[in-house]
Amino acid sequence: MNIIVCVKNVPFTQEVDLVLDASKQDVKKDNLVYVINEWDNYAIEEAIRIKEETGGHVTAVTLGKEADEEVLRRCLAMGADEAIRVERGDLNPDASMIAAILSAVVKTIPHDIILTGVQSDDLNNGITGSLIAERLGLVHAAVVNSLKISEGKAQISIELEGGQDEMSQVTLPALFAIQTGINEPRYVSIMGIRKASKKEIKVIDASGLGLPGEDLQPSLIMEEMFMPPETEGAEMLQGDAGSLADQIIRIIREKGVSL
């Protein structure tokens, strides 16, 4: 079973007050700490679990700068066998460019399963996985919260709205965009780090993939990034617990949620 996992190094933004930079095209990132994208952490864990159960080979791939290799070392330390960094150079890719570049890379590697996260914590496009699959002509499913592999098939569960799941059977090869909570990702061990430090990370230049020019043009042009306007103050409810509950339910109904 050959599994490829696409991962991304993203700024850790929980409990951080984000500030826009002068270009108004991005947030200031100088003081931000980078971590593996939360969804990708579940994806790499899922890949390693499949490998541990059925045997196989896990390759982690990222599109980024040299500093982003730390996310690949993390994957290796968790148990991935191989890691590839696609050097992005001066490109500032949107989701369609990321998908074009990553699909050109993974196309050349044998694969039964490709895993991505549902979305990335920085730009939240939520479409990269599906775009890669479409480019490769692969069956795909997003928001996968359960994955069982047997005899060349995958039993998957897809998270729908309203707490419902949809069960499907998919014939491999296929791409799955993994949802958080599908497993409990392991911690990185010192032994894993030591093992990872001895492995070489393969570097491929994005500009050398032979992609047509239009694939390296963004299809999405960002005009301006801005902070959401501050909303009006909160409405303070009064009363005992019972009356508070009634008022809250009334407000929720008024706002259009069916209870």
Residues that bind other proteins (CB under 8 A): 15, 17, 35, 69-70, 73-74, 77, 187-191, 193-194, 196-197
Rounded Cα–Cα distance for residues 121 and 7 (Å): 11
Q: How far is the CB of 189 from other proteins (least distance, A)?
A: 4
Which tokens go with 235? 């409405």
Closer to other proteins at the Cβ: 197 or 219? Answer: 197
Q: How far is the CB of 190 from other proteins (least distance, A)?
A: 3
Q: How far is the CB of 77 from other proteins (least distance, A)?
A: 7
Which residue from 202, 33, 11 is spatially nearest to 121, judged by alpha carbons?
A: 11
87 pairs with which residues across the strands? 64, 205
If one counts every other C-beta atom within 10 angstroms of the C-beta of residue 234, the result is 6
Q: How far is the CB of 113 from other proteins (least distance, A)?
A: 26
Closer to other proteins at the Cβ: 190 or 259? Answer: 190
Rounded Cα–Cα distance for residues 87 and 61 (Å): 11
> Virtual CA dihedral for 204, 210, 214, 216, nearest 10 degrees?
10
Closer to other proteins at the Cβ: 85 or 111? Answer: 85
Closer to other proteins at the Cβ: 187 or 226? Answer: 187
Q: How far is the CB of 194 from other proteins (least distance, A)?
A: 6
Q: How far is the CB of 209 from other proteins (least distance, A)?
A: 26
Rounded Cα–Cα distance for residues 81 and 183 (Å): 20
Q: What are phi and psi of 105, to 5 degrees?
A: -75, -50
Task: Give the CA count within 13 Å in the CB-facing half-sphere of 156.
Answer: 27
Residue 148 host element (H or E): strand 139-150
Task: Give the CA count within 13 Å in the CB-facing half-sphere of 205.
Answer: 5
**H-only helix segments in 55-198:** 69-78, 95-106, 128-136, 190-197
Closer to other proteins at the Cβ: 37 or 130? Answer: 37
Closer to other proteins at the Cβ: 8 or 73? Answer: 73
Q: How far is the CB of 258 from other proteins (least distance, A)?
A: 35
Q: Give the largest Cα separation in the chain, rounded.
A: 68
Closer to other proteins at the Cβ: 73 or 111? Answer: 73
